[in-house]
Chain A
Amino acid sequence: MSDNVWVSVRGVDKVFVRGSESIHVLERLSLEVRQGEFLALMGPSGSGKTTLLNLIGGLDRPTSGEIEVGGERLDGMSERRLAAWRARQVGLVFQLYHLMTALTAERNVELPLLLSPLNRLERRQHVATALALVGLKDRARHYPSQLSGGEQQRVGIARAIVTDPVLLLCDEPTGDLDRKSGDEILGLLQALNREHGKTIVMVTHDPHASARAGRTLYLNKGRLSAEMPE
Chain B
Amino acid sequence: MKYLLLVAANLRRKKLRTVLTLLSVLVGFLLYGYLGAIEVALGQGVEVAGADRLVVRHRVSIVQPLPQSYGARISRLAGVEDTMHASWFGGVYQDPRNFFAQIPVEPDRFQAMYPEYVLPAGQAEAWRRTRTGAIVGRRTADRFGWKIGDRIPIQAPIWQKKDGGNTWEFDLVGIYDGRDKGTDTTTLYLRYDYFDESRAVGKGLVGWYVVRVKDPEQAESVARAIDAEFANSPAETKTETEGAFAGAFARQIGDIGRIMRAILGAVFFTILLVAGNTMALSVRERTSELGVLKALGFSNRQVMAVVLAESGVLALAGAGAGLGLAWFLVGRGDPTGMLAVFYVPAARWAAGLALAAGLGLVAGLLPAVQAMRLRITDALRRA
Give the interface of A toward B (CB within 8 A): 54, 57, 59-60, 79-80, 83-88, 92, 94, 96, 98, 100-103, 107, 111-112, 114-115, 120, 159
Contacts and interface: CB of A to CB of B under 8 A. Distances in A.
B9 A100 contact: yes
A60 B297 contact: no
Interface stretch (B76-84, B87-95, B172-180, B287-295): B287-295
B377 interface: yes
Nearest to A113: B2
Given A92-B295, A94-B292, A101-B289, 8 more contacts: A59-B380, A60-B376, A79-B299, A79-B300, A83-B294, A87-B297, A98-B289, A114-B2
A54 B302 CA distance: 21
A107 to B, nearest CB: 7
A114 B302 CA distance: 11
B13 A84 contact: no
Given A54-B377, A114-B2, A80 B12 contact: no
Contacts of A80: 299-301
Interface of B: 2-3, 5-6, 9-10, 12-13, 288-289, 292-302, 376-377, 380, 383
A98 B288 contact: yes
Contacts of A86: 295-297
A88 B297 CA distance: 8
A101 B13 contact: yes
A103 B300 contact: no
B299 A84 contact: yes
A87 B296 contact: yes
20 contacts: A59-B376, A80-B299, A83-B299, A83-B300, A86-B297, A87-B297, A87-B298, A88-B297, A94-B380, A98-B288, A98-B289, A98-B383, A100-B292, A101-B289, A103-B5, A103-B9, A107-B9, A114-B2, A114-B3, A115-B302
Nearest to B297: A87
B299 A59 contact: no
Contacts of B383: 96, 98
A87 B289 CA distance: 16
A46 to B, nearest CB: 12
A111 B9 CA distance: 12
B128 to A, nearest CB: 72
Given A60-B377, A98-B288, A112 B297 contact: yes
Nearest to A104: B9
* A-B pairs with lowest CB-CB distance, top 9: A87-B297, A102-B9, A86-B297, A83-B299, A102-B13, A98-B292, A59-B376, A112-B296, A60-B377
Nearest to B3: A114
A42 B311 CA distance: 43
B289 A100 contact: yes
B46 to A, nearest CB: 51
A36 B6 CA distance: 34
Contacts of A79: 299-300
Given A59-B377, A98-B383, A107-B9, A92 B296 contact: yes
B376 A111 contact: no
Contacts of B294: 83
B305 to A, nearest CB: 12
Contacts of B301: 80
A140 to B, nearest CB: 15
B297 A83 contact: yes
Nearest to B12: A102
A123 to B, nearest CB: 9
Given A60-B377, A98-B288, A98-B292, A107 B5 contact: yes
B298 A83 contact: yes
Contacts of A111: 293, 296
Contacts of A60: 376-377
A87 B331 CA distance: 52
Nearest to B292: A98
Contacts of A94: 292, 380
A101 B302 CA distance: 20
A80 B293 CA distance: 14
